[in-house]
Amino acid sequence: MQEEMIEQLNRQINLEFFSAYFYLDVANYYTAENLDGFANWFSIQEREERDHAFFFIRYLQDNDCEVRLSEIAAPHRQYAGFEEPLKLAYSHEKTVTQRIHDLYDLAFTQKDFRTMQFLDWFIREQGEEEKSVKTIGDKYTLFVNDQKSLYMLDGELKTRVYTPAAPADGTAPAALA
Ligand SMILES: [Fe+2]
Ligand SMILES: [Fe+2]
């Protein structure tokens, strides 16, 4: 694997951990606001982002490449209201999608077919990530015009459960199996 690819994959590890950190911050915000369902949904999202980071770590390790962990930016910000984190999460996922596409583009340019295959899972995953987070934002905008609707949406989000994801090639890190 070429050095530029190793560098960019390491950068992606940092971004996945930042995503986890950001969603943990959002979960904490909703917990403080007593919206336990929203908090639950983002807690699971946080866990999934850590899984993504470990997929990249394992991929580098399996290819005898150095893993370089770097400083994770602080996520905390003041949210203007219940809807703002949903909008921020959607735009964040679109940024991540772009970064995955940039990685794929680099792999394509370098004829790094193994990395292209590894990234296939993330390309599909990002489609799902964008859709799921956008759906919650859309539901909020559509239905949440009173406290009862908010309570019902919170109840719906409370039902989400964590299920470990695995890349399509089945190489889920052992720590997650
Ligand atoms: Fe991710
Ligand atoms: Fe994500």
- What are the pLDDT digits (tens) for 97-135? 999 999 999 999 999 999 999 999 999 999 999 999 999
Place of tokens 């560098």: 7
Alpha-carbon distance 8 to 6, whole Å?
6
5: closest CA among 167, 115, 81?
115
CB–CB of 138/25 below 8 Å? no
CB–CB of 113/119 below 8 Å? no
167: closest CA among 100, 89, 109?
100
Band of residue 10 on the pLDDT scale cut at 50, 70, 90: very high
Alpha-carbon distance 11 to 63, whole Å?
17
- How much of the chain, in percent, has pLDDT values that exceed 70? 94
Task: Report the number of secondary-structure helices (H) and strands (E) in the chain.
Answer: 5, 0
Question: Which ligand is closest in space to the CA of residue 132?
Answer: 2
Q: Is the pLDDT of residue 177 over 50?
A: no
- From the CA of 52, how far away is ligand 1's center (Å)? 5
Q: Which amino acid would we find at residue 60?
A: L
Locate 177 and state its tokens. 């199996």
Task: Give 166-170's long-range contacts (Cβ < 8 A, gap of 24+).
Answer: 167/55, 167/118, 167/121, 168/120, 168/121, 168/124, 169/117, 169/118, 169/121
**pTM for this one?**
0.93
pLDDT at 176: 53
Mean pLDDT of the chain: 94
Question: Which ligand is closest in space to the CA of residue 14?
Answer: 1
Question: Which ligand is closest in space to the CA of residue 90?
Answer: 2
Q: Which of 5-14, 27-36, 43-52, 166-175 has the lowest mean pLDDT?
A: 166-175
Alpha-carbon distance 168 to 177, whole Å?
14
- From the CA of 97, how far away is ligand 1's center (Å)? 9
Question: Which ligand is closest in space to the CA of residue 93?
Answer: 2
